[in-house]
C-alpha cells in the first residue's frame, strides 16, 4: 500500500485535497485510512522520507491527528534505501540509528505498508493458532479457546467470535465419482433426472437407516374405495383443469408454481423471482399488433396524450394494472404468444368499446375521434419490444396460423378468468367478455397508456423524460441533407403542385378534351431580387409600440407585488404607513446592498420583521436607486450623473433633510428624481384601496406590523444613512423573507 | 455572450442537474458551437494564439476526442454556427465604428484581472475592448522584456510573460471556415444560422430535427425549451443540464420576469448592463437583479422609462426594446430553405400566413411527421400562456431596425452551407464594412495603405457583384468602409458601375464536364497553361445564365463552377486581360508568370501561397526587403543585428516568405517565442487572403444567383463536400511558427560557430517540438524546398520587371545562406 499521506487529513468541506467529494465521503475515507493505519501497527513498514531514504521497521505507533501528514514511530529501523548514491552515508546512518525511530509527519514522503491484514477474523485467528497448539486443546468453542489461551485477560465479543479459522483451499473442479458415472451430465437436477431417485432406499442401503415415513401423518388419506370416489376425482380434475387452463397470465411466478416450463432465457434472477413485472402493456400491445399485420416499424410509439403523464411513471400502478391474457398452457410458450380470440367483428366492437372507455376517462384532454385515431395508430405502430428468440419465431408463426388474434384482455383487477387454450377454436364465453369490457376500462387505459414509455430496460437516466427521441439519429441526420435547401424544397413544392394539377386536369380531360390547354409553367428558382430589404410584417406598428407604456407596466407591477406579498404572507398593512419616506428610504438601502459580500455580521435586520414591508408595494420605491447609488462610498457615476455635475461628490450624510422631503411630499419636485416621475402619484389611491381590503383581511398582521414596521424601517434607514453602511444584512434578510 | 453571471449563480443555487452522457444515447444533439468552443478553449488555453496567428490547433484535438465520445454513444451532433449579428450585437461589438473606440481605449485601459475589482471603480467593458487591451498589453510587455534583456540576449529567444488572450472568448468567426472544413472531412452535420445560433437551435428542436440543445444560458429565454444542456464533461462522461421550470420556480418569477431581468443584466441579444445594475460587480449581477425583483418588484423596463436623464433613458430603453424584440422576432433558416422570422407559438393567427406556407412546402417531408407529433405535445403548455400571444404574433413593420435588413433567402442559404463567410452580407445589410485592427495592432503604414488599395482592388467589385442580383434598394444603398484608425473618415464603396461587373465577366467560362475532378488553383492553372488558345477555350460565344439556355450548356460540375469563378477573379485582378467585343482573353505579364508555374515544376500545394504573394507584390505597398514603418523591434537580438547586419537582412526576407508556409504540427497549445515583426507581415498577407476570399465568394455567388449552374443537382451535403470544401482562400493563413523557427535557428547558427545541430536543438527546446513536431528536420527541409520554389517564381517576376533586381539578389544570397546552414549536417 502506497500513497502520499501528506494531505490526508483534509477537513470535510475543505479544498486542500486533490480528492474531494463531499464531507460525508471524505469522512468515510478518513475513517478507512485510520482503520488501515491502526491495523498496520505491529507490521513491518517501509517509510521513505523526503530526503529519499527509505527505512524499514516495525510500526509501533503513528499519530493520525497530526496536521501535516502522519507521524510515524518505528522500532528496529533499518535503512534499506539503495537509490541514494552515497553508500557511505547509508552506513553512517544505519549506525546512528537507535532501536526506535520517530519520523515527523512532514518528513514522510511515502509510507509503504506490506501484508496488512484487514480481515479481523484472519488476524485474530493467526494469533489464536499458536495458543491452541500449545494447549493441544482441540476445541472450537470460543469460550474454551479463551480459557485455553490462558492469558486470563478478558476477551471482548469480537475477540471471541472472530476466532474461527478461515482458510481458503484451492478450488478444484468437480468430477463425478466412478460409481456415479451413470448420471447424465445434463440431468443434474432432480426434476430432470431420467431415473427415479429413492432417497429412502439409498439411505437404507448406505447407512442402514430405515424410514418410518408415512404420508398419512401429514395428509388426508384418500379413500379410493369410496363409492363417490370416481365422481370426486372427476370433479377435482375438472377444477384443476380449469385453474391450469387459465394460464399464467404471463406471470412467471405463477407459471412456475404450476409447473409450466417457460422460456426463461434472457431473464435474470431478478426478472424471475424479484422484479416487478412490467410487461403488461407490451403484451397488451402485442395482442393488438397480432390483430393486424405487424408493421416493420421498430420505433416505439407513444400516444401523445399519454406522454407527460407522471402518474404512469409509478411502478406500483403498473404492477397493479399489469395484466395480459397470455396463455401459458403450451410448454414452449413465448412471451409473444397471445390468447385466443373472438371473431374479428367482435373484436372490432370490443375495441371500439374500449376506446370509448378510454375516451371517457380522458375526455378532458381530447376528443373521442382523435383518441380513436390515436389508438389505431398506436396499434398499428406498436411492436413488442422483446427480442424473440429465433427458434421461437417458427413456433409463433405456426400458432398464429391456428389462433385468431384478439383485442381482448382480462381485467387485471379481477381474478384470472379462464382463457381459451390455443387448441380451442370456439368463441369465448360472452359473459366474461362483457364483464371485462365493463369493468376494466380505466385500468386498461392505464396499462395501455404506460405502453412504450416503460420498457423493461432500466434506462440510465431520463433526461428526455417522456420525450425520448423517437426517430433514430441517422434518419435525423439525413433530414439535413435535403431540408433547409430552398432549391430542393421549391422544386418539391412545384412538383407537387404539378401533380395536383395534372390529377385535376386528368379528371377534367375525360369530359372535355383540353389537353392542349395544359401549359406547364416551367419551374424557376425564385430570383433573389424579389426579396425586399424589410422583413414581412403583419401589423403596421413599430416594435416599440408593442411594449406596454409606463402606466400599464406599473399597474402590472403593482398587482404583481401585491400577489407576491399575499403569497409570501407579507403584511400589507404596512401600506397604511403614512410615512412614505420611510419606505422610500428603506428602498434605497436595498439598492445599496449590492456589496460584494453577502454575508455580513450585521444581521440585525432579522430583528425588524416589518422592515421590508413598508416599501414593498408602494410605487416610489420601485425605482429608488436613482438617488440611492450616490450613497455608496465608492462614488458611483450613475448616481453622480443623476444628481448634477458628475464631478461633484455627494455626501453620504445628506439624508435627513432630503428624506423628509421625499417622505412628506412625494409629489414635490425632489421626489421626481427618485420615483417614477409623474407616474408615482396616480397609484397612491389605488394602493390605498387595495390595502384596505388586504389589511382588513389580516388584522393580526396589521397589529403586529402596522405601526412598528414603519418605525423600524425609519430607524434602520436612519442608521444606514447616518454613516453605518450595513447594507448587506438587508440583502440577506430579504432573501430569507422571500423564501419563506 | 450568455446571460451575465447567471451560470455561476445557477450552480450556486444547485439548479444544474447532471446525467451521464449515456442517457443521450442514440439522440441527435444540436450544439451551439460558440458556446461549445468557449468551453473547450477556456482562457488558459491558446494564450499566445493572437501573437502567432493561425488556427488554434488544440481545438482540433479537443474536437476529436469529443467526437469520439459522441460516436461511442451514437449521438449525432449537429453544430450550429452564429450568422449575422443583430443591431444590439453589432453595436456592442464595435461594428459601426470598426472598434475604433475600443482600439484607442485599449492602450490606456487598465484591465482589472479577474473579478476582484472593487465595484464601481470600473466601467463595464465590452469583450472587444478587453480583447484589444489584452493584446496591446501583451505586446507592450513583450517589448519591455526585450528592452530589459537587451544586454543579455544573444541567441536564446525570449519567451513572452504576458498572455495575449485573457478572459476573452476566441473569435470563432476567424476560424469558422477551418472548422467547417474539419466537419466536412469528418462527415459531421453543421449549419450556419442566419442570425442567432441558439434560436436556430430552438427552431430545430421545435421541429424535431434535434432531440436536445447544448447551448448557453440564453436558452432560458426561449419559451419552448424546457431543458437544455449547459455543459458536457467528457472526461467524466456526464453532462450538466438546466431545467427551466425548476429554475423559474426557484427564482419565483415568471418567464416574462426572467426575460426582463436577463435584458437588464445583459445577455447575448442585449449585452450591455443597464442601470441600476451597472454599479455592481459583474460576477454578482444576476443575483442582485433577481434580489431587486423579488424584494421590490422592480421591473427593469419601467426603470429605463423612468430614468430622468433623457438621453441615457433613450439609449438604454432602445437597447432593451431591441433585445426583447429580437428575441421575439428572430430570423431562422426554416425547413423550406427560407429565412423567416421565428415566433415560436406559431399556431397563432398573426403568423398563420407564414406557417401555412411552411406546411405546404413540407407536406411530403418526413420532418413534418415529426413536427406534428411534437406539435401535439407542445400545444398544451403553450396554450396556457395565452396572455402573451398578442404580442408575439404580430410582426411589427420595422424588424430591420433591431435585426438588420433582410437579404434574399438564397444568400442565407449559401451562408448556411459555409460557402460565404458573410462579412460582405453584413456590409450590404448594415451599410458598413468595418476594418478592425489586425492582430499586431495595425500601426504599420503599409498595412493602412493596403486597406486603402483594397477598396478599388476588391471591395467595390465585391459589392457590385453581390448587390446586382438583389433588390434595387441595395444597389443604391450607401455602403462605407470604416477604418478603426480614422472612423470619422469613411470611404464610400461604389456599388454601381455600368455595365455591371458581372456583365463584363460572364462570358468567361471553364467547362470540362469532368465530374470527378476536384478543384484547386493548381489544377486550373495547369488547365489554362495547357490550352493553346485561351480565348477560344474559355470564352463562351453567348452567356449561359438565361433560363432559355438548356441545362447542358450550363455549368454542371463543381470543378467547372469553381474554376469559372476563379478565372473570373483572376481576370478582375488583372492577371488576364479580357476584351469583350473581340472576345479575347489574354494573360497579362503577371498572368503569364502564373501560367508558367507548372513549367517551373512548382508543388501543387504552394500555388495558393504563390498567388497571394504575387498579389501582395502587385500592390507594391512594401517590398520584401523593406522594413515596416514605423519600425518595430525585431525578435533578433541587438547583438545579432549589430554583428551580422547582412545576415539579419537575409533572415528578415526568409521569415517573410515563410509566413505563407504552414508547419505540419500536431495539435498543441503553443507556448514559445513570438515575433511581432513577422506577425505584421503575416497580417498583410492575411488581409489579402481575406479579400481574395471575399472576391471569390462574391464572384461565385453572382454566378450561382444568375443561374449559370444547376443548383438542383446537389443536395446540402454535396454542396458542402464538393463546393465549399474545395473553395480556395478559406483557411486561416499559416501561423508564424515556421518562420520563427528559421529565424532563431539561423541566429543560433550564426552565434554558435555555424554548428547546425546545436541550432536545431535550440529550436527543438524553445518551440517544444518534441510533442508538436515529430520530425523537425523534415519540416526544415520541406520549408527549404518551398523557399527554393519561391525563388524560381521571383526570378520569373524579375524577368518581366515585376520584382526588383536588388531584392532578388538578396533573396538568392539569403537562400544560399540557408542552404549552407541546413546542409551542413553532411560534413
C-alpha cell at A242: 380449469
Q: Cell numbers 484535438 correspond to what residue?
A: B61
Q: How far apart are CA B183 and CA B176, in angstroms?
A: 10
Query: Residues of A133-152 as b/e, b for ≥16 C-beta within 10 angstroms?
Result: eeeebeeeebeebbebbeee
CA of B278 vs chain A CAs: smallest distance (Å): 8
The DSSP code for B627 is P
Res B381 pLDDT > 80: no
The 3-class SS string of B784-801 reads HHHHHHHHHHHHHHHHCC
The confidence score (pLDDT) of residue A75 equals 86
DSSP codes of every residue in A615-634: TSS-GGGGSGGGTGGGGSTT
Q: Which run of H or of E encompasses A137?
A: none
Q: Comparing A697 with A397, which gets the higher pLDDT?
A: A397
Q: How far apart are CA B569 and CA B700, in angstroms?
A: 9
Q: How far apart are CA B64 and CA B545, in angstroms?
A: 43
Q: How far apart are CA B402 and CA B422, in angstroms?
A: 18
Mean of pLDDT values over B174-189: 93
Q: How far apart are CA B257 and CA A556, in angstroms?
A: 11
Q: Given an 8 Å threshold on Cβ–Cβ distance, is B408 in contact with A491?
A: no
Mean of pLDDT values over B293-322: 85
Confidence category of residue A250, pLDDT binned at 50, 70, 90 = low
Mean of pLDDT values over A100-119: 81
Res B664 pLDDT > 70: yes
The confidence score (pLDDT) of residue B220 equals 93
Q: How far apart are CA A610 and CA A572, in angstroms?
A: 10
Size of interface A-B (CB pairs under 8 A): 329
Nearest 5°: phi and psi at A117?
-90, 120
| CATH 2.60.40.420 corresponds to the domain A23-113 | no
Confidence category of residue A394, pLDDT binned at 50, 70, 90 = low
Mean of pLDDT values over B819-825: 78
Mean of pLDDT values over B508-534: 92
The confidence score (pLDDT) of residue A93 equals 75
* List of chain A residues whose C-beta atoms are within 8 Å of the C-beta of residue B287: 598
Mean pLDDT of chain A: 58
CB B562 within 8 A of CB B419: no
Q: Where are the beta strands (DSSP E) in B500-616?
A: 576-579, 584-587
Q: Given an 8 Å threshold on Cβ–Cβ distance, is A731 in contact with B291?
A: yes
Confidence category of residue A708, pLDDT binned at 50, 70, 90 = very low
Query: Within 13 Å and on the Cβ side, how many CA atoms surround A82?
Result: 0
CB B313 within 8 A of CB A557: no
- B143-to-B137, B140, B161, B780 alpha-carbon distances in Å: 10, 5, 11, 28
CB A572 within 8 A of CB A695: yes
Q: Comparing A447 with B427, which gets the higher pLDDT?
A: B427
Closest CA in chain A for residue B414: A485
Q: Flag whether residue B710 sits within 8 Å of chain A, measured between CB atoms.
A: no
Query: Which stretch of A624-638, B186-200, B717-731 has the lowest confidence by average pLDDT?
Result: A624-638
Query: Which stretch of A32-46, A697-711, B195-209, B789-803 has the lowest confidence by average pLDDT?
Result: A697-711
Res B83 pLDDT > 60: yes
The confidence score (pLDDT) of residue A375 equals 77
Query: Which stretch of A493-507, A673-687, B16-30, B306-320 has the lowest confidence by average pLDDT?
Result: A673-687
Mean of pLDDT values over B276-284: 85
Cβ of B601: how many Cβ atoms within 10 Å? Answer: 8
Closest CA to A324 of A268, A385, A356, A283: A283
CB-CB: which of B281, B400, B409 is closest to A486? B409
- pLDDT > 90 fraction of chain B, expressed in percent and rounded: 52
The confidence score (pLDDT) of residue B67 equals 93
The confidence score (pLDDT) of residue A261 equals 65
Q: Flag whether residue A190 sits within 8 Å of chain B, measured between CB atoms.
A: no
Nearest 5°: phi and psi at B342?
-105, 105
Q: Given an 8 Å threshold on Cβ–Cβ distance, is B23 in contact with A460?
A: yes
Res A609 pLDDT > 70: no
Q: Given an 8 Å threshold on Cβ–Cβ distance, is A464 in contact with B211?
A: yes
* List of chain B residues whose C-beta atoms are within 8 Å of the C-beta of residue A532: 406, 471, 473
Q: Given an 8 Å threshold on Cβ–Cβ distance, is B297 in contact with A737?
A: no
Res A588 pLDDT > 90: no
DSSP codes of every residue in A599-666: --S-GGGGG-TTTTTTTSS-GGGGSGGGTGGGGSTT--HHHHHHTS-TTSPPPTT-HHHHHHHHHH-T
Q: How far apart are CA B41 and CA B205, in angstroms?
A: 26
C-alpha cell at A740: 419563506
The DSSP code for B93 is T
Which range among B474-478, B544-548, B568-572 has the greatest average pLDDT? B568-572
Q: How far apart are CA B375 and CA A467, in angstroms?
A: 12
The confidence score (pLDDT) of residue A153 equals 66
Domain boundaries, chain A: 23-113, 120-161, 241-458, 471-531, 551-739
Q: Comparing A513 with A525, which gets the higher pLDDT?
A: A525
The confidence score (pLDDT) of residue A182 equals 54
C-alpha cell at A290: 397480432
Query: Which stretch of A34-38, A116-120, B717-721 has the lowest confidence by average pLDDT?
Result: A116-120
CB A406 within 8 A of CB A291: yes
Q: How far apart are CA B216 and CA B228, in angstroms?
A: 9
CB-CB: which of B276, B362, B416 is closest to A591? B276
The confidence score (pLDDT) of residue B209 equals 92
Q: In chain A, how long is the greatest CA-to-CA distance?
A: 123
Q: What is the ipTM of this complex?
A: 0.81
Confidence category of residue B260, pLDDT binned at 50, 70, 90 = very high
Res B802 pLDDT > 80: yes
Res A293 pLDDT > 60: no
Q: How far apart are CA A229 and CA B638, in angstroms?
A: 123
CA of B209 vs chain A CAs: smallest distance (Å): 6
Q: Comparing A360 with A493, which gets the higher pLDDT?
A: A493
CA of B308 vs chain A CAs: smallest distance (Å): 6
- pLDDT > 90 fraction of chain A, expressed in percent and rounded: 0
Closest CA to B388 of A209, A284, A548: A548
CB-CB: which of A591, A612, A635 is closest to B120? A635
Cβ of B544: how many Cβ atoms within 10 Å? Answer: 21
CB A484 within 8 A of CB B196: no
Q: Which residues contact B787 (CB under 8 A, 6 or more apart)?
A: B654, B657, B658, B815, B818
* List of chain B residues whose C-beta atoms are within 8 Å of the C-beta of residue A687: none
State whether the Cα torsion B608-B693-B164-B649 is positive or negative.
positive
CA of B397 vs chain A CAs: smallest distance (Å): 5
Res B200 pLDDT > 80: yes
The confidence score (pLDDT) of residue B747 equals 92
Res A13 pLDDT > 70: no
pLDDT, tens digit, for every residue of B592-647? Answer: 999 999 999 999 999 999 999 999 999 999 988 888 888 888 889 988 999 999 99
CA of B767 vs chain A CAs: smallest distance (Å): 31
The confidence score (pLDDT) of residue B811 equals 93
Q: Comparing A304 with A608, which gets the higher pLDDT?
A: A304
Task: Name residues 303-342 of chain B within 8 A of A (Cβ).
Answer: 303, 305-309, 312, 321-322, 324-325, 329, 331, 333-338, 340-341
CB B172 within 8 A of CB B81: yes
CA of A13 vs chain B CAs: smallest distance (Å): 15
Q: Comparing A199 with B401, which gets the higher pLDDT?
A: B401
- pLDDT > 70 fraction of chain B, expressed in percent and rounded: 91
Helix axes of B737-751 and B756-766: crossing angle, nearest 10 degrees: 140
CB B455 within 8 A of CB B435: no
B481 three-class SS: strand
Q: How far apart are CA B260 and CA B533, in angstroms?
A: 68
Closest CA to B77 of B62, B63, B89: B63
The confidence score (pLDDT) of residue A286 equals 55
Which range among A598-602, B390-394, B579-583 has the greatest average pLDDT? B579-583
Task: Name residues 518-537 of chain A within 8 A of B (Cβ).
Answer: 522, 524-537
C-alpha cell at B221: 429565454
The confidence score (pLDDT) of residue A288 equals 55
CB B670 within 8 A of CB B436: no
Confidence category of residue A619, pLDDT binned at 50, 70, 90 = very low
The DSSP code for B234 is T
Q: Comparing A179 with A485, which gets the higher pLDDT?
A: A485
Query: Which stretch of A151-160, A378-387, B165-174 has the lowest confidence by average pLDDT?
Result: A378-387
Q: Which run of H or of E encompasses B504?
A: helix B501-505
Mean of pLDDT values over A278-282: 54
C-alpha cell at A160: 471471541
CB B572 within 8 A of CB B505: yes
Res B25 pLDDT > 60: yes
Q: Which run of H or of E encompasses B479?
A: strand B479-483
The 3-class SS string of A702-715 reads HHHHHHHHHHHHHH
Q: Is A354 left (phi over 0), alpha (psi -120 to 50) or beta?
A: alpha
Closest CA to B81 of B42, B40, B34, B28: B34
Query: Which stretch of A54-68, A371-385, B13-27 has the lowest confidence by average pLDDT?
Result: A371-385
Task: Name residues 345-404 of chain A within 8 A of B (Cβ).
Answer: none
CB A336 within 8 A of CB A392: yes
CB-CB: which of A542, A596, A616 is closest to B397? A542
Amino acid at each position: 500500500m502506497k500513497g502520499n499521506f501528506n494531505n490526508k487529513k483534509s477537513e470535510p468541506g475543505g479544498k486542500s485535497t486533490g480528492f474531494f467529494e463531499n464531507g460525508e465521503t471524505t469522512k468515510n475515507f478518513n475513517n478507512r485510512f485510520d482503520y488501515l493505519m491502526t491495523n498496520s501497527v505491529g507490521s513491518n513498514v517501509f517509510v521513505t522520507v523526503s530526503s529519499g531514504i527509505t527505512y524499514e521497521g516495525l510500526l509501533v505507533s503513528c499519530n493520525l491527528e497530526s496536521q501535516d501528514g502522519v507521524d510515524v514511530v518505528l522500532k528496529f529501523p533499518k535503512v534499506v534505501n539503495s537509490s541514494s548514491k552515497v553508500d557511505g552515508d547509508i552506513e553512517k546512518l544505519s549506525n546512528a540509528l537507535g532501536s526506535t525511530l520517530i519520523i515527523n509527519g512532514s518528513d514522510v514522503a511515502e509510507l509503504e505498508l506490506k501484508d496488512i491484514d484487514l480481515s479481523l477474523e484472519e488476524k485474530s485467528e493467526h494469533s489464536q493458532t499458536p495458543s491452541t497448539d500449545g494447549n493441544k486443546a482441540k476445541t472450537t468453542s470460543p469460550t474454551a479457546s479463551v480459557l485455553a489461551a490462558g492469558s486470563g485477560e478478558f476477551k471482548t465479543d469480537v475477540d471471541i467470535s472472530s476466532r474461527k479459522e478461515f482458510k481458503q483451499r484451492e478450488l478444484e473442479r468437480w468430477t463425478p465419482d466412478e460409481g456415479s458415472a451413470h448420471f447424465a451430465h445434463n440431468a443434474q437436477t432432480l426434476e430432470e433426472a431420467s431415473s427415479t431417485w429413492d432417497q429412502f432406499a439409498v439411505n437404507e442401503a448406505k447407512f442402514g437407516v430405515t424410514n418410518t415415513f408415512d404420508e398419512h401423518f401429514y395428509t388426508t388419506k384418500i379413500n379410493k374405495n369410496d363409492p363417490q370416489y370416481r365422481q370426486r376425482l372427476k370433479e377435482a380434475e375438472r377444477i384443476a383443469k380449469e385453474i391450469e387452463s387459465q394460464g399464467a397470465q404471463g406471470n412467471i411466478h405463477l407459471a412456475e408454481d404450476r409447473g409450466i416450463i417457460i422460456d426463461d432465457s434472457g431473464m435474470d434472477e431478478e426478472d424471475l423471482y424479484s422484479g416487478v413485472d412490467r410487461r403488461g402493456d407490451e403484451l397488451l400491445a402485442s395482442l393488438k399488433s397480432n390483430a393486424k399485420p405487424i408493421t416493420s416499424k421498430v420505433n416505439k410509439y407513444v400516444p401523445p396524450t399519454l406522454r407527460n403523464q407522471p402518474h404512469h411513471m409509478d411502478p406500483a400502478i403498473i404492477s397493479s394494472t399489469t395484466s395480459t391474457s397470455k396463455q401459458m398452457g403450451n410448454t414452449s410458450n413465448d412471451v409473444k404468444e397471445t390468447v385466443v380470440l373472438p371473431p374479428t367483428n367482435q373484436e372490432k366492437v370490443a375495441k371500439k368499446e374500449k376506446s370509448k372507455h378510454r375516451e371517457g376517462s380522458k375526455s378532458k384532454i381530447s376528443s373521442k375521434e382523435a383518441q380513436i385515431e390515436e389508438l389505431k395508430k398506436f396499434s398499428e405502430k406498436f411492436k413488442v419490444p422483446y427480442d424473440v428468440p429465433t427458434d421461437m419465431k417458427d413456433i409463433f408463426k405456426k400458432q398464429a396460423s391456428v389462433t385468431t388474434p384478439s383485442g381482448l384482455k382480462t381485467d387485471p383487477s379481477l381474478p384470472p378468468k379462464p382463457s381459451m387454450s390455443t387448441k380451442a377454436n370456439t368463441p369465448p364465453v360472452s359473459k366474461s367478455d362483457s364483464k371485462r369490457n365493463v369493468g376494466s376500462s380505466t385500468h386498461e387505459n392505464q396499462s395501455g397508456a404506460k405502453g412504450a414509455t416503460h420498457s423493461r430496460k432500466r434506462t440510465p437516466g431520463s433526461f428526455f423524460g417522456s420525450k425520448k427521441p423517437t426517430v433514430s439519429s441517422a434518419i435525423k441526420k439525413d433530414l439535413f441533407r435535403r431540408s433547409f435547401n430552398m432549391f430542393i424544397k421549391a422544386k418539391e413544392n412545384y412538383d407537387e403542385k404539378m401533380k395536383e394539377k395534372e390529377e385535376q386536369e386528368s379528371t377534367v380531360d375525360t369530359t372535355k378534351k383540353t389537353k392542349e390547354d395544359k401549359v406547364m409553367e416551367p419551374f424557376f428558382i425564385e430570383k433573389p431580387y424579389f426579396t425586399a430589404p424589410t422583413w414581412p410584417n403583419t401589423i403596421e406598428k413599430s416594435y416599440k409600440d408593442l411594449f406596454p407604456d409606463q402606466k400599464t407596466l406599473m399597474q402590472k407591477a403593482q398587482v404583481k407585488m401585491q400577489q407576491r406579498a399575499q403569497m409570501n404572507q407579507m403584511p400589507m398593512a404596512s401600506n397604511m404607513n403614512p410615512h412614505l419616506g420611510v419606505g422610500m428610504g428603506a428602498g434605497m438601502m436595498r439598492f445599496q446592498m449590492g456589496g460584494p459580500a453577502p454575508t455580513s455580521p450585521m444581521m440585525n435586520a432579522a430583528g425588524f420583521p416589518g422592515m421590508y414591508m413598508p416599501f414593498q408595494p408602494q410605487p416610489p420605491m420601485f425605482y429608488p436607486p436613482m438617488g440611492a447609488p450616490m450613497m455608496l462610498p465608492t462614488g458611483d457615476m450613475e448616481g453622480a450623473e443623476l444628481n448634477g455635475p458628475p464631478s461633484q461628490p455627494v455626501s453620504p450624510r445628506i439624508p435627513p433633510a432630503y428624506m423628509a422631503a421625499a417622505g412628506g411630499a412625494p409629489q414635490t419636485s425632489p421626489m421626481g428624481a427618485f420615483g417614477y416621475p409623474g407616474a408615482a402619484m396616480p397609484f397612491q389611491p389605488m394602493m390605498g384601496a387595495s390595502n384596505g381590503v388586504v389589511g382588513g383581511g389580516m388584522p393580526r398582521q396589521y397589529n403586529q406590523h402596522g405601526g412598528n414596521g414603519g418605525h423600524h424601517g425609519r430607524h434602520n434607514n436612519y442608521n444606514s444613512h447616518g454613516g453605518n453602511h450595513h447594507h448587506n444584512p438587508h440583502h440577506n434578510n430579504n432573501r430569507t423573507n422571500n423564501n419563506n | 455572450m450568455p446571460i451575465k453571471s447567471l451560470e455561476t449563480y445557477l450552480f450556486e443555487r444547485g439548479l444544474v442537474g447532471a446525467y451521464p452522457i449515456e442517457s443521450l444515447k442514440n439522440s441527435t444533439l444540436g450544439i451551439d458551437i460558440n458556446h461549445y468552443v468557449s468551453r473547450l478553449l477556456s482562457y488558459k488555453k491558446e494564450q499566445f494564439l493572437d501573437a502567432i496567428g493561425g488556427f488554434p490547433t488544440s481545438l482540433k484535438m479537443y474536437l476529436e476526442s469529443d467526437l469520439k465520445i459522441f460516436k461511442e454513444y451514437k449521438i449525432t451532433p449537429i453544430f450550429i454556427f452564429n450568422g449575422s449579428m443583430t443591431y444590439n450585437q453589432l453595436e456592442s461589438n464595435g461594428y459601426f465604428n470598426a472598434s475604433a473606440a475600443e482600439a484607442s481605449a485599449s492602450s490606456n485601459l487598465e484591465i482589472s484581472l479577474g473579478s476582484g475589482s472593487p465595484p464601481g471603480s470600473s466601467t463595464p467593458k465590452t469583450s472587444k475592448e478587453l480583447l484589444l487591451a489584452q493584446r496591446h498589453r501583451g505586446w507592450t510587455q513583450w517589448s519591455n522584456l526585450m528592452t530589459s534583456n537587451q544586454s543579455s540576449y544573444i541567441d536564446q529567444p525570449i519567451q513572452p510573460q504576458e498572455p495575449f488572450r485573457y478572459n476573452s472568448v476566441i473569435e470563432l468567426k476567424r476560424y469558422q471556415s477551418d472548422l467547417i472544413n474539419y466537419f466536412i472531412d469528418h462527415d459531421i452535420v453543421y449549419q450556419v444560422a442566419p442570425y442567432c445560433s441558439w434560436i436556430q437551435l430552438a427552431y430545430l428542436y421545435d421541429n424535431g430535427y434535434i432531440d436536445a440543445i447544448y447551448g448557453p444560458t440564453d436558452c432560458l429565454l426561449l419559451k419552448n425549451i424546457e431543458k437544455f444542456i449547459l455543459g458536457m464533461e467528457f472526461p467524466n462522461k456526464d453532462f450538466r443540464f438546466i431545467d427551466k421550470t425548476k429554475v423559474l420556480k426557484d427564482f419565483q418569477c415568471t418567464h416574462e420576469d426572467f426575460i426582463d431581468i436577463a435584458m437588464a443584466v445583459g445577455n447575448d441579444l442585449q449585452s450591455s448592463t443597464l442601470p441600476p445594475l451597472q454599479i455592481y460587480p459583474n460576477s454578482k449581477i444576476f443575483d442582485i437583479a433577481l434580489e431587486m425583483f423579488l424584494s421590490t418588484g422592480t421591473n427593469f423596463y419601467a426603470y429605463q422609462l423612468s430614468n430622468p436623464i433623457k438621453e441615457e433613458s433613450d439609449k438604454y430603453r432602445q437597447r432593451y426594446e431591441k433585445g426583447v424584440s429580437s428575441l421575439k422576432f428572430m430570423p431562422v433558416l426554416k425547413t423550406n430553405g427560407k429565412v423567416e422570422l421565428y415566433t415560436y407559438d406559431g399556431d397563432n393567427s398573426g403568423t398563420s400566413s407564414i406557417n401555412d406556407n411552411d406546411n405546404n412546402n413540407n407536406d411530403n417531408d418526413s420532418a413534418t411527421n415529426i413536427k406534428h407529433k411534437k406539435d401535439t405535445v407542445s400545444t398544451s403548455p403553450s396554450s396556457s400562456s395565452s396572455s402573451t400571444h398578442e404580442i408575439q404574433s404580430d410582426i411589427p413593420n420595422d424588424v430591420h431596425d433591431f435585426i438588420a435588413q433582410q437579404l434574399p433567402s438564397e444568400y442565407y442559404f449559401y451562408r448556411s452551407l459555409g460557402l460565404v463567410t458573410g462579412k460582405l452580407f453584413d456590409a450590404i445589410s448594415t451599410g458598413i464594412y468595418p476594418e478592425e485592427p489586425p492582430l499586431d495592432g495595425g500601426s504599420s503604414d503599409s498595412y493602412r495603405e493596403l486597406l486603402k488599395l483594397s477598396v478599388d482592388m476588391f471591395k467595390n467589385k465585391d459589392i457590385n457583384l453581390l448587390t446586382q442580383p438583389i433588390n434595387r434598394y441595395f444597389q443604391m444603398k450607401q455602403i462605407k468602409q470604416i477604418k478603426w484608425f480614422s472612423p470619422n473618415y469613411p470611404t464610400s464603396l461604389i456599388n454601381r458601375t455600368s455595365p455591371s461587373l458581372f456583365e463584363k465577366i460572364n462570358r468567361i467560362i471553364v467547362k470540362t464536364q469532368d465530374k470527378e475532378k476536384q478543384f484547386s488553383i493548381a489544377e486550373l492553372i495547369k488547365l489554362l497553361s495547357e490550352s493553346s488558345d485561351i480565348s477560344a477555350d474559355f470564352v463562351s460565344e453567348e452567356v449561359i445564365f438565361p433560363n432559355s439556355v438548356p441545362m447542358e450548356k450550363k455549368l454542371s460540375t463543381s470543378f467547372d463552377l469553381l474554376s469559372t469563378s476563379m478565372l473570373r477573379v483572376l481576370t478582375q485582378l488583372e492577371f488576364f486581360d479580357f476584351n469583350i467585343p473581340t472576345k479575347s482573353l489574354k494573360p497579362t505579364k503577371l498572368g503569364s508568370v502564373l501560367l508558367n508555374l507548372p513549367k517551373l515544376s512548382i508543388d501543387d500545394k504552394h500555388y495558393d501561397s504563390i498567388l497571394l504573394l504575387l498579389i501582395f507584390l502587385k500592390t507594391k505597398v512594401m517590398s520584401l526587403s523593406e522594413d515596416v514603418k514605423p519600425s518595430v523591434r525585431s525578435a533578433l537580438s541587438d547583438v545579432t543585428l549589430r554583428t551580422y547586419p547582412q545576415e539579419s537582412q537575409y533572415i528578415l526576407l526568409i521569415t517573410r516568405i515563410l509566413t505563407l508556409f504552414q508547419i505540419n504540427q500536431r495539435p498543441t497549445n503553443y507556448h514559445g517565442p513570438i515575433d511581432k515583426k513577422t506577425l505584421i507581415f503575416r497580417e498583410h498577407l492575411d488581409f489579402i487572403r481575406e479579400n481574395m476570399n471575399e472576391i471569390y465568394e462574391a464572384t461565385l455567388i453572382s454566378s450561382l444567383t444568375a443561374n449559370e449552374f444547376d443548383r438542383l443537382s446537389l443536395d446540402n451535403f454535396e454542396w458542402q463536400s464538393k463546393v465549399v470544401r474545395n473553395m480556395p482562400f478559406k483557411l486561416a493563413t499559416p501561423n508564424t511558427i515556421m518562420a520563427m523557427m528559421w529565424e532563431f535557428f539561423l541566429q543560433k547558427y550564426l552565434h554558435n560557430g555555424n554548428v547546425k545541430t546545436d541550432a536545431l536543438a535550440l529550436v527543438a527546446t524553445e518551440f517544444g517540438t518534441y510533442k508538436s513536431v515529430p520530425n523537425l528536420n523534415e519540416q526544415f527541409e520541406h520549408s527549404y524546398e518551398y523557399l527554393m520554389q519561391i525563388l524560381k517564381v521571383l526570378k520569373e517576376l524579375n524577368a518581366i520587371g515585376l520584382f526588383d533586381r536588388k531584392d532578388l539578389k538578396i533573396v538568392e544570397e539569403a537562400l544560399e545562406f540557408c542552404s549552407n546552414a541546413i546542409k551542413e549536417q553532411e560534413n
